[in-house]
């Protein structure tokens, strides 16, 4: 769905759940953050032919999607979504796809008159939360302190959120201007600190090496 033909037919606020798409791709930049050039190029085949997509962006609470401003819709691949969340469909129960999130909340994609399963971010509790919509919940100072907390976390080596909170609560950081609430607020607004997640896999205890006593060594080797 990358043709400009009949572009006005699909509102920019709609997110489609598409069983025919194999990629997640958005055209509305207001719904995504951190738009950037991708290290690889997506060759998108559609009714307009073939186009090259070179940019990506992030959707908080979901992950990375492709960004193509020339597209006519914001599309989530049904196949990709089901890898992250459980999805149910019952044609006898309102003909809708229900996405079951990890926090036990649900999100519904309902059919339009043309048969497109969509979620309207203007009216629904959506699958995603943009950074701007979360920022609006807090005062300017609360947002500023959250950013300060993330910056300090980066400076001290990106500890896990749990360890970072312990450092602050135990006064291990002299003259620290933030508190636990600022750290948790940073997690909600900015998402997990990806740097603190890297390189922290648990080391497995190696198997025991049995050392042979000299009495067990054959005479030929001695």
Residue 209 within any structural domain of the chain: no
DSSP letters along 27-74, please? --GGG-EEEEEEEEEEEEEETTEEEEEEEEEEETTTEEEEE-TT-S-E
Please indicate, yes or no, if residue 219 is contained in any of the structural domains: no
> Is the CA virtual torsion 110, 114, 116, 122 positive or negative?
negative
Residue 157 lies in a domain: yes
Point out the domain boundary residue: 103, 125, 147.
Answer: 125
In a domain, 2, yes or no: no
Q: Do the Cβ atoms of 196 and 204 come closer than 8 Å?
A: no
Q: Are residues 158 and 99 in the same domain?
A: no
Q: What pLDDT score was predicted for residue 202?
A: 55
What's the pLDDT at 204? 59
State mean pLDDT over 99-116.
83
Q: State whether 32 and 90 are in the same domain.
A: yes
**144 and 71 in a common domain:** no
Same domain, 39 and 93: yes
Tokens at 161, concatenated: 């959120």
Output the CA angle 56-74-121, nearest 5 degrees: 115
Tell me: do 52 and 120 sit in the same domain: yes
The contacts of residue 15 (CB under 8 Å, 6+ apart) are 31, 74, 75, 76, 109, 118, 119, 121, 126, 127, 128
CB 53 within 8 Å of CB 68 = yes
Confidence of residue 128 (pLDDT cuts 50, 70, 90): low
Question: pLDDT class for 26, splitting at 50, 70, 90?
Answer: very high
Could you identify the residue written with the tokens 């996405």?
99
Nearest one of 73, 86, 69 to 12, comparing CA atoms: 73
Per the structure block, which two tokens stand in for 79? 């196949």
The answer, yes or no, to whether residue 80 has pLDDT greater than 70, is yes
Q: How many domains does the chain have?
A: 2
pTM passes above 0.75: no
| Same-domain pairing of 185 and 97 | no
Top-confidence range, 99-103, 133-137, 175-179: 175-179
Kindly state whether residues 89 and 23 are assigned to the same domain.
yes
The answer to the question of residue 62 being in a domain is: yes
Quick one: pLDDT at residue 24? 93
27 and 77 inside one domain: yes
d(CA 199, CA 119): 37
Q: Residue 87's domain is classified under what CATH number?
A: 2.40.70
**Residue 19: pLDDT above 80?**
yes
Span 156-208, pLDDT tens digits: 988 988 999 999 999 999 999 999 999 998 887 777 766 665 555 555 566 56
The answer to whether position 214 is within a domain reads: no
Same domain assignment for residues 113 and 55: yes
Q: Do 37 and 110 share a structural domain?
A: yes
Residue 131 lies in a domain: no
Name the pairing type of β-strands 86-89 and 74-77. unpaired
74: pLDDT strictly greater than 90: yes
Question: What count of other Cβ atoms lies within 10 Å of the Cβ of residue 28?
Answer: 17
Decide which of 125, 153, 174 is a domain's last residue: 125
Residue 102, CA atoms < 13 Å, CB-side half-sphere: 6
* Domain shared by 44 and 149, yes or no: no
Confirm whether 130 is domain-assigned. no
Same-domain status, 141 and 105: no
Give residue 100's domain range: 7-125
- Mean pLDDT score, 25-41: 89
Task: State yes or no: pLDDT of 125 exceeds 50.
Answer: no
Which residue, 98, 125, 152, sits at the end of a domain?
A: 125
């Amino acid at each position: 769905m990358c043709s400009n033909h009949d572009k006005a037919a699909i509102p920019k606020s709609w997110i489609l759940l598409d069983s025919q798409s194999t990629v997640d791709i958005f055209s509305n930049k207001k719904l995504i953050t951190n738009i950037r050039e991708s290290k690889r190029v997506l060759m998108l085949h559609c009714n307009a032919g073939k186009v090259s997509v070179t940019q990506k962006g992030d959707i908080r609470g979901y992950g990375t999607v492709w960004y193509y401003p020339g597209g006519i819709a914001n599309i989530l691949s049904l196949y990709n979504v089901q890898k992250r969340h459980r999805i149910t469909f019952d044609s006898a129960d309102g003909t809708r796809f229900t996405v079951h999130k990890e926090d036990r909340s649900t999100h519904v994609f309902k059919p339009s008159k043309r048969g497109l399963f969509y979620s309207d971010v203007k009216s629904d509790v959506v699958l995603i939360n943009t950074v701007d919509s979360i920022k609006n919940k807090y005062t300017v100072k609360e947002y500023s302190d959250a950013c300060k907390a993330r910056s300090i976390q980066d400076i001290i080596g990106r500890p896990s959120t749990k360890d970072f909170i312990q450092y602050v609560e135990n006064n291990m950081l002299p003259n620290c201007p933030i508190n636990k609430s600022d750290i948790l607020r940073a997690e909600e607004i900015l998402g997990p600190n990806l740097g603190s997640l890297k390189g922290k896999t648990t080391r497995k205890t190696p198997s025991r090496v049995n050392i042979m006593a000299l009495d067990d060594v054959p005479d030929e080797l001695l």
